[in-house]
Structure 1
Amino acid sequence: MTALVVRHQPWTSEPRRPPMSNEVDARPGLSLTSRYLTRDGHPVIPVSGEIHYSRVPRHRWVSRLRQMRSGGVTVISAYAFWLHHVPERGRPRFDGNRDVGAFLDACAAEGFDVVLRIGPWCHGETRNGGFPDWVQDSPVRHRTDDPAYLALVSEWFSQLAAQVAGRSLAGLQLENELYDQPGHLLTLKRLARAAGLSAPLWTATAWGGAELPAEEVFPLYGGYGDGFWVDADAPWDPTFREHYFFSHVWDDPGIGADLRRSNPARPARSPSPLFPPATCELGGGMATAYHRRPRPSALDVAAIAHGKIGNGSAWQGYYMYAGGTNPPGTQESHASGYPNDMTPLGYDFHAPIGEAGLLSGSHALLRQQHAFLAAFGPALAEMPSSLPDLRPSGVEDVRTLRYALRSNGDSGFLFISWHQPHVPLPDYAEAQFAVRLDDRSVVLPASPMTIPAGTLARWPLGWDAGGVRLDWVTASALTVLPGARTTLVCVESAGIPVSYSVGGVVHEVEASTVPVRVSADADLLVLPASVADAVWVDVDRRRLFLSADELTWDPDGVVTARTSSAYPEVRVYAAGGFVEVPMRRAAPSLGAVADGRATLVRRAGGAVPVAYGKFDGRQSAPSAAVFEELAAVFSLSLPRLPDDLDGFIRISWAGDVAQLRVDGRTVTDRFWDGSDWVVSLRDAGYAPGSSLTLHVLPLAAGSPVWLPEDARDRLLGSLGELLAVDAIELLGLASWPEA
């Protein structure tokens, strides 16, 4: 057996301080270097999450922000869609869900920095890329320095600036996916300044070989493991597959490629030497187009984010982090010339926080990474990324283990990523690592081990444990808890034995909720893999919780549990163990789970066709008229919930396209991809006595749309066409604040 060798590679140049945020647009407390961002003079690795205020009910803004905080998000990122705000020229709308000023106030009250993505062209699957129709139809050369176009942009920027006035922004993104007009980006920056918009960070998307004006914008990258923007019959594209490997290549030629298919491919670019490698669009999930319906798993999402940290990321930014619902008539589609038909209303994105406001599995996996960044980010930011001596030969390589090192030459973290979708990886046998640091080599573990498929690990090396050096731990670092005894908290990886070394002496550990003493002043707590999804970390106060229910906390740290059970079990770590947190209810009713009933009231209108036409080579969604003619209709009956509970329905169904209607009004919709569909009853406008109907269009067995493997298998097993409503579940969630 040969050890897996990785050698620490020090920085190749001295850190630089770009004019941005330092001499120009400086703001106390926030600045930028070529290696990392600083907060109050200390290195940090921010975590930004995308949420679109105009796609989320205003009364949910604070609860969404708190769900983002409990997920470890520290910066809010949001598009300001011109289309949502100014559908008619001269009549801007900043009311209700569109009140950007109120949203920024909510973010500030909750303690978040904000990056506002002002466009004018944003995309985000909005029609015309976010241009109002009257702008799209104007006789101007869009997205250029055409004076007639710039006059329209100046009008928009002035309207937006009036709403933002007096509020502090951490960043402003100019345009989106503009590849070959650095001069136009400078013009947009000038126009934004003239309107009164400013921030210490001016950003731009850098993927696709984008030419950006040096020093004037902070280049940000992305990474999606699958996407709707390739053809239905396309294999898993290398531009998706590459994100499951450790690499120092940050450019991605695949994102947005469907909108530049007529343009020649642009060469990939390296990050600017003035700025650190950073992201704004790590796939927090994926939108669903009609012709192609990816459904990333929680592990798919987490693996890409984990890999970017190992690659040297100085900023983890997700798109989307919280899903939402489109204002009617604003989505992108074939009708607007977009290559992909999107759902008119639903924009769930399979995000960590779904359209309805319930958490998906990725929230749990990502919040562990983000707790790690909060605790170790100041040290990690100073650590360059080093790749191993033997690396995979390409995206087809499923035999060479994927790992990387971030180190300062004396201590650091070993990252392992052994997961990818679509093409399963085997368990990797006989793994043992030799990490070459500046003055010594570290071999771990003591004996070779098997790395199971699905493993994501970040093992600490050379951690100071109360005056004693902890050489290494074969469990993922999570956080450090202060107190009379400092506690290093790690999480076990399923199937990997936990051991640690102090002074060259190896100790085996059983993962537990009780710590082991590693020195006179420090403990090591290795949580079992079985409780990993129940781990929550208040990163501001370094409080560690265990709860199977959803937890959030307000700016003062007061915890609230949301549950459908009789009583939430919330435990907090204190004095060497977990103790129960007393919770209380302001109202007497408890959470509830109940079955609803779906009654067929109108059969499908006839056999559905295999396809409904094409645009730009891709299948089109059925028209509204065809949907009305052919869809089956089910009446949904739900038990009544107490008024103080937050009600949701979970719909298990199969078919092609579905709409949920309240009193005849479509409130949201879905293209079927094999997953359950969750809808907030309150946000849908449902009340006792409302008519609730589910309209489902069958899917022809021969349909050429791309589906996840399990959904495709179900379709192929159907007799001619697929139509089913398998279950309707009612969830009533009660909120329990900390007593």
Structure 2
Amino acid sequence: MFCIRPLTAALLLGALASAAGADTLLKLDARAAVPAPTTGYLKLGTATSPKGETLAANSQYLLKDGKPWLPVMGEYHFTRAPASQWADQLRLMKAAGLDVVATYVFWNHHEERPGAFNWRGNHDLRRFVQLAQAAGLKVVVRLGPWCHGEVRYGGIPDWVVDAMPTRGNDPEYMALVDRLYGQIGRQIQGLLWKDGGPVIGVQLENEYNLRGPGRGEEHISALKKLALKAGMDVPLYTVTGWDGAVYPSGEVMPVFGGYPDEPWATSTKELPPKETHAFRFNTRVSGDLGAQTKSHGAGTAETDKDKVPFFGAEYGPGLPAMYRRRTLVSPDDIAAMLPVQIGSGVNLLGYYMFHGGRNPVGAGGTGLEESSLSGGYNDTPRINYDFQAPLGPDGQQREVLTRLRPFHYFLRDHGAQLATMTVRQPERSPADPADLQTPRWAVRANGDSAFLFVNNHVRQYAMPAQIGVRFEVQLPGGAVTLPSKPVDIPNGAYFVWPVNLDLDGVKLRYAAAQPVARVDAGAQGIVHVFAATAGVEAEFALPDGLKTLKPDATQLQRLGTGANGRAVSVLLLAPEQLAQLNVLELAGQRRLVFSEQQAWVADGRLQLRGVGPQPLRAAVFPALTKPAAAGLKVSQDGVLQRLDVAGDPAQPALHITATRPAGMAPKVLKGGLAGAAVQPIPEAFATAATWSLQLPAQLPRAEDVLLELDFVGDIGRVFAGTTMLDDWYYNGQRWQIGLKQFGLKPGAELRLSVLPLRADAPVYIDAAHRPAFAAGQTQVAELRGARLLTVRRVAIAP
């Protein structure tokens, strides 16, 4: 199951350079005392639950039951997903290390016609919140009324936009917002924190930087009053703080974000290096986040820096598809942001989107997506909202999730300490994000304890290897220099190393390895999971000297005796082993579960979910007492208990027939608010190539069946009859559609249409995926492959 990554050419060259005697000492002074947090400035809601649990915030961090708390939050839109999926998907989010789920309430999804509210089925906010609570997640409800979220009119219904001014204190508009907030308040009544429920916060409006009479701080204040009137008394009230946002200081807390590219930009070329990959020491705003309105002055967030904690809500673990710019980010483009954001002081790590989805279709077939046809700044797919998210629209696990989880687990076990630490800037740091030569690192410290954050990855730009590097951190108790010998940090590396970390009574001076999680293994003592840094020898500096460890997920490596005479050991993981790690509460105990498939806990059982013919496999530590499931084989490999269920090589067949060749697609026009490429008009699809996709007469008895499409063209659409099921902008990513949700009959025929992509189309596609047009070739519309993949699941009793 596990292997160790071989040395790359870059690492080999770096090793040769180190052997030649290169030694660069990077210095940082972290001796200054941490300012004491202040309280009383923020006007928060009821902080105490019926059980006496408390949730509060000071000027630096959140406090849960009086202790610092650094949670992870992820966005999942309930109206963009089948209600039948919610329970499992929320548990998958919890298994990935999330503490909070955030969700927009899109007004036009619930009140398409005046006064006719829909809170049923896939629109049932109350059930979604209840399921989140059952999964162990807290909830933040993003109220709008303007949300954006790549939705038509930002979520405000057409009939409102047509009739009155919006996004201000117009009396007619505010009366309708009052009614909307009242409806939302009734949906979550009894589910607020003060009632013992999971709803800990609400967000007012979104990306709000409008000024003038009835706008600005005055409008946000009015919205908060309406939320309170509707009964939404919660510990946290937030607004987005980027792009010059304005709000009443002290009444709400700003949240921030950042993305590794800008699909809302108009450039058809690669963008300069983004701020999200560069540490920030003087600002919390991470560049342009695509606000639909322009700021005309400095935002409130900058003057609030010393009064409110640094919270994130929209760090992008993927990117949306927009017609003119179709960026496809790598897992490392995303994961490299995490040490940067945490190392820049973020004390709530929030993602948008953590789970992809699909837009509902409005009454009469109206599209509810953002588009230039309805005056939007961007063109987005009619239905698909994949977002390249860690969990796809049908719950698919994406590779990026395996890179993010270790940071979530790190925050779960070390976040309370980290939250109290402030950011310290090195003697030398990059002048700006375009400086690719100066080492990128930062430290968060409090007293003699610290964490060191390093990033040597920038999307689409090769970083020079930092050759022969050591770090010197000046602390009140003296300087710590790590590691003991110079190391080479290759292009693409990013990591977190601890300084003066207490491992249950064993004093760790430093580690040249990343802390991940802690497990109480009973008679085997306390086990701390660490991740080896690729190309760097894992070194642990202990009171009795240095220990150099080799990655091995099957063996505990003892560090010493800790508190109460218990053994303290390390389980050191190679990168490939780390990618399979899940930390789950199972059978009354925290356990490590290694699996290439999805793993989570439901109904007290370990759930494994895989796609295609491969076996379902996991390795568990500490071992389960009597694992049981049909076809399960159990074996032991060192400390790991291996669980195996045979694969199913018989995948359903898909019969594909070309039915219509492509015509000549019309020229892609420029226009709209962005003055850039706009999506072709509906009549253009008459030139699309089409294929018949015939499902087998006997569909397998599986949890789901994914239709996977590999096409090259401009826009793909899948129909059942004349009903569009899904659509996709070509960007090089495989397109998958879960078929179970549509209730298709065995033998049903689907139709794929692919609008040709013209060679002269002024759209951006990453160089690795842009079609190479042959001489004289003017367009392309090809289906390179299509197949059906079963989704299998096994529940293992412990």
Q: Does 1:546 align with 2:586?
A: no
Contact 2:695 2:748 in 1 (8 A): no
2:201 corresponds to which residue? Answer: 171
- State the alpha-carbon separation in 1 of the partners of residues 774 and 173 from structure 2: 50
CA–CA distance in structure 2, aligned partners of residues 591 and 107 of structure 1 = 35
Match for residue 288 of structure 1 among 315, 321, 341? 321
* Deviation readout 1:584-603 (Å, 9 max, x if unpaired): 79xxx947546644321111
Asked if 1:530 is matched to 2:576, the reply is: yes
Matched, 1:673 2:734: no
Shift of 1:555: 7.0
For 2:319 and 2:40, the matched residues in 1 are separated by 34
Offset of residue 291 of structure 1: 0.7
Choose which of 302, 309, 313 in structure 2 pairs with 1:276: 309
Aligned CA distance change for structure 1 residues 174 and 529 (closer, same or farther; 3 Å): same
Aligned match of 1:707 = 765
Q: Does residue 683 of structure 2 align to residue 625 of structure 1?
A: yes
**SS of residue paired to 2:154:** helix
Match of 1:145 among 166, 169, 184: 169
Following the alignment from structure 2 to structure 1, what is the Cα–Cα distance between the partners of residues 225 and 699?
54
Residue 681 of structure 1 deviates from its aligned partner by 1.1
Deviation at 1:313, TM superposition (A): 1.2
Structure 1 position 686 matched with structure 2 position 750: no
Partner of 1:349: 387
5+ residue gaps, structure 1, are none
Mapped contact 1:549–1:569 kept (Cα < 8 A): yes
The Cα shift of 1:562 comes to: 3.5
Q: Which residue of 2 aligns with 1:298?
A: 331
Question: Shift in Å at residue 732 of structure 1?
Answer: 0.7
| Partner secondary structure for residue 737 of structure 1 | strand
Kindly state the Cα deviation for residue 204 of structure 1 after the two structures are TM-superposed: 0.5
1:93-242 equivalent positions in 2, closer than 5 A: 93-139=118-164, 141-168=165-192, 169-179=199-209, 180=211, 181-233=216-268, 235-237=270-272, 241-242=274-275
Whether 1:13 and 2:35 are equivalent positions in the alignment is yes
Aligned mate of 2:410, from 362, 372, 385 = 372
1:17 deviates by: 2.2
Answer yes or no: is the 8 Å Cα contact 1:252–1:268 preserved in 2. Answer: no
**Shift of residue 40, structure 1, vs aligned partner:** 2.1
Q: Which residue of 2 aligns with 1:256?
A: 290
Partner of 1:607: 664
Residue 247 (structure 1) aligned with residue 280 (structure 2)? yes
Partner of 1:32: 57
CA contact (8 A) 1:171 1:199 kept: yes
1:557-568 aligned within 5 A = 558-565=606-613, 567-568=615-616
Distance 1:643 1:717 in 2: 48
Q: Please report how far the alpha carbon of residue 370 of structure 1 lies from its aligned counterpart in structure 2 after TM superposition.
A: 0.3
Q: Does 1:572 align with 2:613?
A: no
Q: Within 1, Cα distance between the matches of 2:244 and 2:595?
A: 44
**Count of paired positions:** 730
Greater Cα offset, 106-115 or 490-499 = 490-499
> Is 1:49 aligned with 2:89?
no
Within a 5 Å distance, the mapping from 1:475-494 to structure 2 comes to 475-483=513-521, 484=523, 485-494=525-534
Q: Per-residue displacement from partner, 1:587-633 (whole Å, max 9, x unpaired)?
A: xx9475466443211111x2223414422311111122211x10000
Report if the CA contact (8 A) 2:256-2:285 is conserved: yes
Tell me the equivalent position of 2:7. none
Counterpart secondary structure, 1:289: coil
Which SS does the other structure have where 1:122 is aligned?
A: coil
Question: How many angstroms does 1:342 deviate by?
Answer: 0.9
Of 655, 662, 669, 2:720 maps to 662
Once the two structures are TM-superposed, the CA of residue 364 in structure 1 deviates from its matched residue by 0.8
Question: Secondary structure in 2 aligned to 1:134?
Answer: helix
Q: 1:567 to 1:43 in 2, by over 3 A?
A: same
Q: Secondary structure at the match of 2:486?
A: strand
Opposite residue 169 of structure 2, the aligned amino acid is D
Greater CA drift, 687-696 or 462-471: 462-471
Matched-pair contact (CA < 8 Å) for 1:404–1:415: yes
Contact map agreement 2:47 2:54 (CA 8 A) in 1: no
- Which deviates more, 529-538 or 165-174? 529-538
| 1:487 partner amino acid | V
Please say if residues 20 and 26 of structure 1, whose CA atoms lie closer than 8 Å, have aligned partners that are also in contact. Answer: no
8 Å CA contact 2:607, 2:793 repeated in 1: no
Looking at structure 1, the residues matched to 773 and 116 of structure 2 have their Cα atoms a distance apart, in angstroms, of 47
Segment drifting more, 715-724 vs 61-70? 715-724
1:652 equivalent in alignment to 2:710: yes
How far the C-alpha of 1:267 sits from its partner, in A, is 8.9
* Separation of aligned partners in 2, 1:701 and 1:395: 33
- Cα deviation, 1:39-84, whole Å, max 9, x if unaligned, reads 2222111111001000000101112101211211110100000010
| 8 Å Cα contact 1:584/1:738 also seen in 2 | no
Deviation string for 1:479-535 (max 9, x for gaps)?
Answer: 111234211211122222222221372232211111211113211211112222211
SS of equivalent residue, structure 1 residue 544: strand
User: Equivalent pairs: percent with the same residue?
Assistant: 32
Are the equivalent residues in 1 in contact too, given 2:585–2:601 (CA < 8 A)?
no
Contact 2:150–2:369 under 8 Å retained in 1: yes
Hey, what's the Cα distance between the residues in 1 that align with 2:180 and 2:467? 59
The one of 347, 359, 362 equivalent to 1:314 is 347
The answer to whether the 8 A contact 1:82-1:131 is kept is yes
CA shift in 2, pair 1:295/1:183, >3 Å: same
What is the Cα deviation at residue 583 of structure 1? Answer: 6.9
1:392, distance to aligned residue in structure 2 (A)? 0.9
1:6 is displaced (CA, Å) by: 1.9
Structure 1 residue 517 corresponds to structure 2 residue 558: yes
Q: Does 1:69 align with 2:94?
A: yes
Shift of 1:211: 2.1
Question: Bigger CA drift: 318-327 or 22-31?
Answer: 22-31
Cα root mean square deviation, aligned: 2.3
1:239-273: CA deviation from partner (whole Å, max 9, x where unpaired):
xx11101113212451134x224856769725432
216-225 vs 272-281, which moves further: 272-281
Flag the 1:261–1:39 CA change in 2: closer, same or farther, 3 A.
Answer: closer
Distance 1:273 1:593 in 2: 58
SS in 2 for 1:183: helix
CA distance change for structure 1 residues 736 and 237 in 2, over 3 Å: closer, same or farther? Answer: same
Query: Judging changes above 3 Å, is the alpha-carbon distance between structure 1 residues 152 and 430 closer, same or farther for their aligned structure 2 residues?
Result: same
1:379-436 deviation line (CA, Å, top 9, x unaligned): 1112112121110122221111111112222222211111111212132211111111
Task: Give TM-score scaled by structure 2 length.
Answer: 0.87
Distance in 2, matches of 1:280 and 1:11, equals: 29
1:14 Cα deviation from its structure 2 partner = 1.6
CA contact (8 A) 1:701 1:718 kept: no
Could you say which residue in structure 2 is the equivalent of 1:4? 26
Alpha-carbon separation, structure 1, partners of 2:325 and 2:29:
42
The SS at the match of 2:765 is coil
Distance of 2:243 and 2:638 partners within structure 1? 50
Matches within 5 A, 1:70-89: 70-89=95-114
How far apart, CA to CA, are the structure 2 residues paired with 1:153 and 1:591? 54
1:545/1:438 Cα in 2 relative to 1: closer, same or farther (>3 Å)?
same
The residue correspondences of 1:382-401 to structure 2 (distance < 5 A) are: 382-401=420-439
User: Residues of 2 paired with 1:267 and 1:200: CA distance?
Assistant: 21
Q: Which amino acid aligns with 1:518?
A: L
- Once residues 569 and 288 of structure 1 are traced to their aligned partners in structure 2, the CA distance between those partners, rounded to angstroms, is 34
Match of 1:420 in 2: 458
Query: Alignment partner of 1:419: what SS?
Result: coil
Structure 1-normalised TM-score? 0.94
